Amino acid sequence: MASRRFDPKGKESYSAVKYVQVEGLALMKIAKHCHEECASDVIIAQGALLGLVVEDRLEITNCFAFPKSVDESINDEKYQLDMMKSLRQVNVDHYHVGWYQSSDVGNFLSLPLLESQFHYQTSIEESVVLIFDAPKTNRGFLSLSAYRLTPQALTMFKENDFLPDTLKSLKVGYDNLLVKVPVVIKNSTLTNILLSELSFKIKVEEGSEHLDIGTATVLEGQLRHLMDRVDDLNQEAIKFNRYQQAVVRQATDKHRYLQKRAIENQARAAKEEPPLPEEDITKIFRALPVPPRLPPMLMATQVDSYAEEIAKFSTQSLAKLYMTKAMNTNN
């Protein structure tokens, strides 16, 4: 179901949103679903986002989980329509504005995710995908990001051509597959009042939350994933180098074959013999299949994402270490 953009002046437009506003209720439901699925050893948790587009922001006010893939008796499309119909009957925002997915220490980028977002974005222009990192959130760092496909990536999936020449003509690279949309979390006034009252009742150990170096586990996981992706990227580079060597070798053999035919035709012409019959050179030297460039591009994008996260968390850890060292020295 396509979502419409409502303008206070009564006009409708379909331009891209500038930021995503998530209600606290929707965020808590996403977090609960992702934590439960991760605890039950499910690879990923997914669900639908419901809300409304107002001016230049996408408001996400509710959500519901997709049925588990192991249950084959449920029709996914019928299930989503029934859920939205039920929510509409109780006067809850029922416009489909995107979907969410869980992540394992930033490891979320894959071809199925891009294909799903492409289908969402072609049917619902303002749709986004929310990525919730449950392991990182368990360590005390709320990780919620919103992504959309860039216009170049949309064109690439529409043409369904991932060869190097196509990617070069579209100017698609690892750094412009997805665009990150700012996320703002908003609670109602009554919720803010309740949180303020609870903050006074809950006792927190003074100073323990400021110098807690809880980034160690997160950094270790990200470094492990980074090394795995770098190894995979290296294997893809080796495959592409072998393809280039095979192309050069085939071009050399083709040139030698044509030279040999030319010399033999000259000899036959000197003997006043007819030249050799024409042959289709493309049947003798068939074009080698070009390896697709999308998988290594996804790996490079994931490596870039890991590097950014590691740099951010390393800066926080170093700052805490220097502060702790200074405090110990003064004591």
Give DSSP secondary structure letters for 47-107.
EEEEEEEETTEEEEEEEEEPPPTT-TTS-HHHHHHHHHHHHHHTT---EEEEEEEEEBTTB
Q: What is the mean pLDDT of the chain?
A: 80
Contact 306, 225 (CB under 8 A): yes
Q: Tokens in use for 293?
A: 């460039």
Instruction: Give dist(CA 288, CA 290) in Å, integer.
Output: 6
Please report the beta strands in the chain, taking only residues with DSSP state E, as ranges in sequence order.
5-6, 19-23, 46-54, 57-65, 95-103, 128-133, 144-149, 178-181, 183-186
pLDDT single digits (tens) 258-299: 888 888 888 888 887 887 777 777 777 888 888 888 888 888
Contact 148, 176 (CB under 8 A): no
Q: pTM of the entire structure?
A: 0.75
pLDDT single digits (tens) 127-146: 999 999 887 787 777 888 99
Dmax over CA atoms of the chain, in Å, equals 108
- Give the position of tokens 């953009």: 5
Stretch 215-220: mean pLDDT:
70
Instruction: Give dist(CA 114, CA 19) in Å, integer.
Output: 20
103: closest CA among 128, 136, 70? 136
Q: What local confidence, expressed as pLDDT, does residue 81 receive?
A: 82
- pLDDT of 5 over the 50 cut: no
99: closest CA among 79, 82, 85, 119? 119
Instruction: Give dist(CA 59, CA 5) in Å, integer.
Output: 11
Stretch 147-172: mean pLDDT:
86
Instruction: Give dist(CA 312, CA 117) in Å, integer.
Output: 27
Stretch 205-233: mean pLDDT:
71
Q: Tokens in use for 285?
A: 């030297």
Instruction: Give dist(CA 221, CA 231) in Å, integer.
Output: 16
For the beta carbon of residue 145, count every other beta carbon within 10 angstroms.
20
Q: What local confidence, expressed as pLDDT, does residue 42 receive?
A: 59
In this structure, of 9-13, 90-94, 223-227, the range with the lowest mean pLDDT score is: 9-13
Instruction: Give me the phi and psi of 21, to 5 degrees please.
Output: -110, 120
- Left (φ > 0), alpha (ψ -120 to 50) or beta: where does 138 sit? alpha
As a residue count, the chain comes to 331
- pLDDT of 12 over the 50 cut: no
Q: How confident is the model at residue 69 (pLDDT cuts 50, 70, 90)?
A: low
Q: How confident is the model at residue 41 (pLDDT cuts 50, 70, 90)?
A: low
For the beta carbon of residue 164, count every other beta carbon within 10 angstroms.
12
Q: What local confidence, expressed as pLDDT, does residue 267 receive?
A: 85
Q: What local confidence, expressed as pLDDT, does residue 280 receive?
A: 73
pLDDT single digits (tens) 162-204: 888 888 888 888 888 888 899 999 888 888 888 888 877 776 5
The DSSP bridge partners found for residue 6 are: 54
CA 130 from chain centre, in angstroms, equals: 10
Q: What local confidence, expressed as pLDDT, does residue 214 receive?
A: 57
Residue 184 or residue 83, greater confidence = 184
Which DSSP symbol is given to 36? H
Instruction: Give dist(CA 233, CA 226) in Å, integer.
Output: 10
- pLDDT of 324 over the 80 cut: no
Of the ranges 69-73, 203-207, 219-223, 318-322, the best mean pLDDT one: 219-223
- Give the position of tokens 């929510």: 87
